[in-house]
Amino acid sequence: MDIFSKLQEQLQTPQPQADLSVEPIDPTWLTGIPPLGVITVMTLNYFDNGSDHRVKWSSARFAMNLQMFTQTEPFTPSVSLAAWKGTIQLHDPDFWIRYVEHKKDKMDEATFARLKAVYVETFKTFPDGTLLGTFMNKTSGTNYSWSYAMRFWFDQFDEPNLEIFLDEDMPTIDVWETVVPVPGQNLPVLRARHDPNKLWRSRRPTGKGRKHQ
């Protein structure tokens, strides 16, 4: 049965809601990722590697670089202070689910069902061009956190949005800044931050960007 036939069959069958906050995720530091309850600041940088980039699971055209921090007092974020850092490859949903199915034996049944539900929800309710990604880092080899995922899309107003599914679901991140390109530098296209407690203390700004809000 091809993927479109399988999709048709799925859409005719009631699907579970994409609730990534339920078991079996244990709110511990899964492959070093802090639980949402202790993450105080997060930096996010969205990269576009160009239309000629050779796409594979470990290297997509689009990617999201993250740094997570757990400090409880005001501070200036830096790589050395990050509790976790990594780059999530963002894929076309069909490619993403095919690889998830290929690696099904690496996860438990509840995790696989949760990821399948995210895919079906994306197919049914999100716009074309929505991207899905799986958390991984290469601090000590390549480590995947199959239970953790993200979904990135541009809405009807061409505004970027990001959902992050950890041991709990984060609020949608929808305030982004366009990064001004600099010749010869590999800079992100967009950047954002998660800073609900206003702990971020910035260095002197080096340039201006256009904010999406």
Residue 3 lies in a domain: no
> How many domains, in total, are found in the chain?
1
Rounded to whole angstroms, the Cα distance separating 25 from 212 reads 33
Say if CB 162 and CB 173 are below 8 A apart: yes
Residue 70's Cα: distance from chain center in Å?
Answer: 19
Omega before 16 cis (within 30°)? no
Residue 33 lies in a domain: no
pTM of this structure: 0.81
Residue 207 lies in a domain: yes
HSE-CB of 177 using CA atoms within 13 angstroms: 14
* Structural domain boundaries, residue 192: 39-212
pLDDT of 128 reads: 95
Residue 172 lies in a domain: yes
User: Using one digit for the tens of pLDDT, what is the confidence trace for 38-47?
Assistant: 999 999 999 9
- Please state, in angstroms and as integers, the Cα–Cα distance from residue 179 to each residue in 70, 146, 163, 176, 208, following that order: 26, 30, 21, 9, 8
High-pLDDT (> 90) share of the chain, %: 66
Cα R_g (the chain), whole angstroms: 18
**Mean pLDDT per 10-residue run, the chain (213 residues)?**
50 49 46 89 96 92 96 95 94 97 92 94 96 84 86 96 93 96 92 95 63 56
